[in-house]
Structure 1
Amino acid sequence: MKISFIIAVYRNEGAISGTYEKIKSLFGAALAGLEYEIIFVDDGSDDGSLKEILAVKKGDPCVKAITFTRNFGQMAAMLAGFKEAGGDAVINISADMQDPIELIPQMIQKWQEGAEIVICYRTDRSDTISAKLFSYVAYGALRLSVPQIPPGGFDFVLMDRKALDEFNSIDVRNRFFQGDLLWTGYRTSFIPYVRRKRTIGKSQYNFAKKLKNFIDAFLDASYLPIRFISSVGIILSILGVIYSLTIVYSWLRGGTPFSGWAPIMIAMLIIGGLIMVMLGVIGEYIWRIYDEVRKKPNYIIRDKYL
């Protein structure tokens, strides 16, 4: 049996050879008897990442490399690797050595015992307080629609060939990795771990990228934004009726309720703000429809070193 490793690379110079050596060492010990292939996908790195990948490949024919014309994002790199993988099972792992490679034998054991997807999920992470807070809020919101997602999220996973083929068959541009994977419904096992502190290089995930990924995932996985718009519309309609009845009642009693400009301006500002938010949500959905219709590829491959 062969295990394919997919490693998305973006400015990971200095960590690639270490990741490779740790994976390779497993197949001389705990995983002896299994074959492997390691597919590095260089997502438009502008450092020495590709040079390091090719140096590793030169000494091992089981190493493959794919390069993009520019930076298309981690999800695009993962998709390219998944489509190239030829193993009986595929493991997605980061290139920065923050995911514990020593869990791989346990993942493979669970797969051999019948699990079709094995998810290593984060119970904690060695990150800044702001990063932890954002992760907590983001995954908390996503769990409203996909409750199977672990609170700390995941991307360190093993997929059986069947699960991988089904995952690859989902032909959409704006992918939500965790949601799409769990949606397939294959037998899933979970392994908890603590994500290590990054010791080599610097994370390329700034707040803007994290926010974009969250919005993409939330809109892909949830009907809540549309339900929110409907609910707000109903609530405002009810409040409007109540307000109208209050005015009529007060007029019949000879009074003039809520006189002056202040109540009107407050109501206009609140309703106007809500309308803009609703238009923004609808615009996000319309953009995604347009993005699907124009059928641009998720990535463009410059070279393959197979």
Structure 2
Amino acid sequence: MFSLVIPVYKNEANVPRLLAALVALAPTLPEALEVVFVVDGSPDQSHALLARALPDLPFAAQLLAHSRNFGSFAAIRSGLQAARGERFGVMAADLQEPPELMAAFDQALLRDEADVVIGTRRSRADGAVSQWSSRLFWALYRRWVAAEMPEGGVDVFGCNRAFRDQLLALEESRSSLIALIFWLGFRRQLVAYDRQARQEGVSAWTLRKKIDYMLDSVFAFTDAPIRALTHLGVCGCGLALLVGLAVLVARLTGQIEVPGYTATMLAVLFFGSLNLLGLGIVGTYAWRAYENTKARPLAIVARRQANGAAAASARESAGPQS
């Protein structure tokens, strides 16, 4: 069975079109479809509409409701935990990602070509400002944080059970689910698609949520800001030494006549740079402590295989089973 997880928040207007698309998708899959709707504290009638439609859907379906709005990543986690299939897909309820993409994910997973299949945007029908800001963020993210991240970022993915279990084992409250997908590794396959324009309603992806997502995606996966601060402090100390020598020479040769100017300049330059260096060093220790509190595994076994002799030895060491 292929389980499709759909987080729902302020999607009342497009619920009928979503259900029609899912009904059309089900027969195209090689095995049974299960859909897990997760209503993430939506203030509209999304839950009521889905609850009324649930008994008549021609495929297995679950409807979960969060007690309040926890965010789309939390909704995805809840859906993956409840899903009962062997293969899983995640897509948004606004249908900006074509449902046919899920069929492509399922085919790749069924053929065991990959453990996780990721949709990459070939084009997107969004505003110019949104497209420009997205390209800038992901370009910087690929340069400084995750080089394997696709150029346009990731909105949808599919995975097998082994990958799903490892992803759910990473219980981090302030993190990025998408970045964790790349941190986990495993065999990956990319599927390109064209992102559609939103037809109903207004996106709930506000500027505040985008900023929170940006901060979580950066600070949970790299110490680049701390390293930049340390490098800036080292360079600043070197520059302060050179400028300080120049100021001292100017004072000794009589080019600076203002009383106290030399001492003030030397103190500001040296201790300012030393302060940056100290913050970088303290931040490095803080980052290492933070890394330990995340409790991510030191290594992950993606696949395990043994020959007949090893399997027989394992059974003997386990002893008789009751």
Give the AA of the match of 1:89.
R
Match of 2:255, SS state, is: coil
CA distance, structure 1, for counterparts of residue 91 and residue 42 of structure 2: 18
CA contact 2:37–2:79 (8 Å) conserved in 1: yes
Structure with bigger RCO (C-alpha 8 Å, 6+ apart): 1
Aligned to 2:212: 212
Match of 1:143, SS state, is: helix
Deviation at 1:285, TM superposition (A): 6.8
Gaps of 5+ in 2: 296-322
1:33–1:105 distance in 2 versus 1, CA, 3 Å: closer
Structure (1 or 2) with the greater helix fraction: 2
Deviation at 1:232, TM superposition (A): 1.3
Match of 2:220, SS state, is: helix
Deviation at 1:241, TM superposition (A): 0.9
Q: What is the TM-score with the length of structure 2 in the denominator? A: 0.79
CA distance, structure 2, for counterparts of residue 253 and residue 207 of structure 1: 56
Match of 2:227, SS state, is: helix
CA distance, structure 2, for counterparts of residue 86 and residue 257 of structure 1: 81
Aligned to 2:120: 121
CA distance, structure 1, for counterparts of residue 173 and residue 26 of structure 2: 35
Aligned to 1:94: 92
Pairing 1:51–2:48 present: yes
1:257–1:161 distance in 2 versus 1, CA, 3 Å: farther
Deviation at 1:84, TM superposition (A): 0.9
Give the AA of the match of 1:252.
L
Aligned to 1:252: 252
How is 1:154-169 mapped onto 2 (pairs within 5 angstroms)?
154-169=154-169
CA distance, structure 2, for counterparts of residue 119 and residue 292 of structure 1: 25
Deviation at 1:35, TM superposition (A): 0.9
Deviation at 1:257, TM superposition (A): 8.2
How is 1:58-77 mapped onto 2 (pairs within 5 angstroms)?
58-60=55-57, 62-77=60-75
Match of 1:27, SS state, is: helix
C-alpha RMSD over aligned residues = 3.3
CA contact 2:230–2:276 (8 Å) conserved in 1: no
Aligned to 1:16: 15
Aligned to 1:235: 235
1:42–1:231 distance in 2 versus 1, CA, 3 Å: same
CA contact 2:40–2:71 (8 Å) conserved in 1: yes
Aligned to 1:81: 79
Q: Aligned residue pairs: how many? A: 286
CA contact 2:6–2:37 (8 Å) conserved in 1: yes
CA distance, structure 2, for counterparts of residue 159 and residue 239 of structure 1: 51
Pairing 1:132–2:131 present: yes
CA distance, structure 1, for counterparts of residue 30 and residue 160 of structure 2: 18
Identity within the alignment, %: 23
CA distance, structure 2, for counterparts of residue 33 and residue 10 of structure 1: 30
Gaps of 5+ in 1: 294-306
CA distance, structure 2, for counterparts of residue 151 and residue 127 of structure 1: 16
Find runs of 4+ consecutive structure 1 residues off by over 3 angstroms: 257-260
CA distance, structure 1, for counterparts of residue 251 and residue 175 of structure 2: 56
